Amino acid sequence: MKYDVCVIGSGAGAGPVIYELSKAGYKVVVLEKGPWVKTEDFNKDEMTATRRDSFRPALKDECHTVVKKNKAGKWMKRSTYDSGRSFWNGNCVGGSSNFMSAYFHRLKPVDFNLLSKYGPIEGANVVDWPINYEDLESYYEKTERIVGVSGKVVNHSFLEPRSTPDFPFPPLQENIFASWLDKGAKQLNYEIFPTPRGIISESKEDRNSCYYSNFCGSYGCSSDAKSSSRVALIESAVKTGNCTILPNSKVFHLETNGDGRIIKANFYDINDEKQSIEATIFVVAAQAVETSRLLLMSENIEFPNGLANNSGQVGKNMVYSSGGVGSGQLYFSDLNKEDAEALDTPGLFINRAIQQWYEIDHPELGRVKGGTVDFVSEHANGITKAIKLKKTSGGRLLYGAALKKRLFDYFTKQRKLKFEIFVDWLPNDKCYVTLDDEVMDKWGDPVAKIWAGHHEHDNKVARYLADKTERLFKEIGMKNVSTGIGNSPPANLQAGGCRFGDNPKTSVLDKNCKAHEVDNLYVSDGSFMPTGGSVTYTFSIYANSFRVADKIKADLEQNY
């Protein structure tokens, strides 16, 4: 059978395309490398969810290699199998959207024209987007309504223009700590507002509302409240009868016909047998690193450097999310009994954010793009917390009574709260993806080699936001306040590699996310982003994928 559309991947970049094309009556096939995990398969077991490869590939079978500078400034390569730090996340139907924390901030109008607004930065490949905020606004609204976003719109300096006055679902229930942040922010004249979340607070069709399990980010949702691609979009697409899901299907080559068009996707099935699918239009949404890898592996006579890569731009200008994580502690002995019990209530969200410094005008930094601060609880996973307590600050291993007392005090006498800083990861010539010529996966294909070059400007901006936020934590009486500014690429926040633009020499995709060089290839995950903004990417990936779905429908109607 020849399908109208073949979609490779099933996460946030794929779901809207699958949903819209299936609803429109087109025959859609989805090739997902991972299994089809259902809601009933998710549980809150800490080992299963966050310490084992239950929902991502085993590194002995499929790893990545990461190249980054060591402390001496020398570039060093290490496989994730050797390091044990997986770069996979959410390898199953619905992808990493099954396991997201779901901060759903929109990009701001300024995010679409950083070069024009702030000028060039030496060592960074900053460009303006070929579309503007207005081109995406209606699709943000569509995502809020169809996928499901909860929250409360509060006016602040960097509130983006909206076509609707509020989110379709009311805010989630909050921990008392949120009110303390509000009071502290008021004292400091900080603008703080409720964080919108891709988690529904009221039932929607077959989905139940959040039940505040206390195990959210990194965990699959057992109530279907989390707005994953699988729950919010793909399950509805399957019900149309027009959508076929082929799980455990690892695509390794997109085959062209000599005229610059893809004719089939070649893949390994669950038995590691080679199979192929024919379609009219192909959509790649395998998450940014793996999307670049697949295009680079799909080389042939027409495209000796990889599919759609005669420009040499595939895999270039990867962006992640830069910033850092801060924390502070509140000890129950410093609080009255009622407040201590309220603070210790599990499962309720903090749901506060600050975007007051989304643009910074500072004597040392100049006038630059800033970022977002989101406030969260320490991750609920008890194993993760316990592991961090096994050594003293000097590195000495604790055991016996000393370790037991430390664990008891940590789990019963205090609560750690955190803030996460999101600033732009500036695209640069040292941050890209290639194929590794030494390390292969279990099928004999080269793994993705991730070059993790980082621009020092990002750290300066993050430090500015950290200083502001640490002041807020101290204002409300928190102790042991500190921030770690990081420059390692987070696997769950990746974009770029197939940036879109008007010039085929400097971009892979046109403004509609169709490949310049391949007439029936679209890329609808975060790969299209030339810059990432100072928020998490999932919401914008969803919105853009809805936009791309409309372009594909028009393409099918006009040309096929």
Instruction: Choose among 226, 272, 251: nearest CA to 103.
Output: 226
What is the 8-class DSSP label of residue 514? B
Q: Cβ of 457: how many Cβ atoms within 10 Å? A: 20
Say if residues 249 and 266 touch (Cβ distance below 8 Å). Answer: no
Say if residues 536 and 195 touch (Cβ distance below 8 Å). Answer: no
CATH of the domain at 532: 3.50.50.60
Token duo for residue 92: 């199953």
Residue 555, Cα to own-chain centre: how many angstroms?
28
Say if residues 100 and 220 touch (Cβ distance below 8 Å). Answer: no
Domain total for the chain?
1
Q: What are residue 432's DSSP bridge partners?
A: 451
- Write the CB contacts of 269 (distance below 8 Å, at least 6 apart in sequence): 246, 248, 249, 275
- Write the CB contacts of 503 (distance below 8 Å, at least 6 apart in sequence): none
CA separation for the pair 68, 470 (Å, rounded): 29
CA separation for the pair 92, 254 (Å, rounded): 21
CA separation for the pair 22, 26 (Å, rounded): 5
Residue 52: the pLDDT is: 67
Q: 95 exposed, middle or buried (CB, 10 Å; 0-12, 13-18, 19+)?
A: buried
- Write the CB contacts of 229 (distance below 8 Å, at least 6 apart in sequence): 10, 11, 12, 14, 15, 18, 94, 95, 97, 542
Residue 5, Cα to own-chain centre: how many angstroms?
25
Q: What are residue 415's DSSP bridge partners?
A: 330
Residue 50: the pLDDT is: 66
- Scanning the structure block, which residue is given the tokens 């076509």? 163
Segment (H or E) for 184? helix 176-188
Q: What are phi and psi of 466, to 5 degrees?
A: -65, -45
pTM given for the model? 0.97
Residues making up the chain, counted from first to last: 560
Segment (H or E) for 532? none
Long-range own/partner contacts, residues 256-259 (CB < 8 A, 24 or more apart): 256/298, 256/300, 256/302, 256/303, 256/307, 256/518, 258/301, 258/302
Residue 51: the pLDDT is: 62
State the residue range of the domain holding 353: 2-559
Segment (H or E) for 371? strand 371-377
Q: What are phi and psi of 447, to 5 degrees?
A: -80, 165
Buried/exposed code over 146-163 (b: 16+ C-beta within 10 A; e: otherwise): bbbbbbeeeeeebebeee
Q: Cβ of 260: how many Cβ atoms within 10 Å? A: 16
Q: 515 exposed, middle or buried (CB, 10 Å; 0-12, 13-18, 19+)?
A: buried
What 3-state DSSP class applies to 540?
Answer: helix
Residue 427: the pLDDT is: 98
Per-block mean pLDDT, blocks of 10 residues, the chain (560 long): 96 98 98 95 81 83 95 93 92 95 97 97 97 98 98 96 98 98 98 98 96 92 96 98 98 94 97 97 98 97 96 97 96 97 96 97 92 95 90 89 95 97 97 98 98 95 98 98 93 96 97 97 98 96 98 95
Say if residues 1 and 279 touch (Cβ distance below 8 Å). Answer: no
SS3 labels along 390-405:
CECCCCCECCHHHHHH
